[in-house]
Amino acid sequence: MRRSEFLRAVDTEFQARASSLVNDLVLGALDNRTALEALSDGTPPREIWLALCAEMDVPENRRHGVGRQEPRRR
């Protein structure tokens, strides 16, 4: 998962709360850092996404494959 895919997934899943969750929610699974701090420290976006999903009780079926754009058609 790329950073852009992570941000797209967060926006899609959490909508209006996305920005505050990324900036303000401290995640124990990420050594008590916010998602933004973890991104800045080089933590893989996929790891952050899964920690955020676990913290927010996102169902398993909405955790995988999100954030990807549809392939361009030729």
Whether 72 maps to a domain, the answer reads no
Check if the beta carbon of residue 18 is closer than 8 Å to that of residue 34: no
Whether 32 maps to a domain, the answer reads yes
- Structurally, the chain folds into a number of domains equal to 1
Whether 9 maps to a domain, the answer reads yes
Whether 10 maps to a domain, the answer reads yes
Whether 57 maps to a domain, the answer reads yes
Rounded to an integer, the average pLDDT of 34-49 is: 96
Instruction: Give the predicted TM-score (pTM) of the model.
Output: 0.85
Give the span between the Cα atoms of 29 and 26, in whole angstroms: 9
Greatest extent of the chain over all pairs of C-alpha atoms, in Å:
45
Rounded to an integer, the average pLDDT of 27-56 is: 96
Exposed/middle/buried for residue 45 (C-beta within 10 Å: 0-12, 13-18, 19+): buried
* Most confident of the following: 1-10, 16-25, 63-72: 16-25
pLDDT of residue 23: 96
What confidence category does residue 61 fall into, taking pLDDT thresholds of 50, 70 and 90? confident
Whether 71 maps to a domain, the answer reads no
Rounded to an integer, the average pLDDT of 35-49 is: 96
Domain carrying residue 44: 3-62
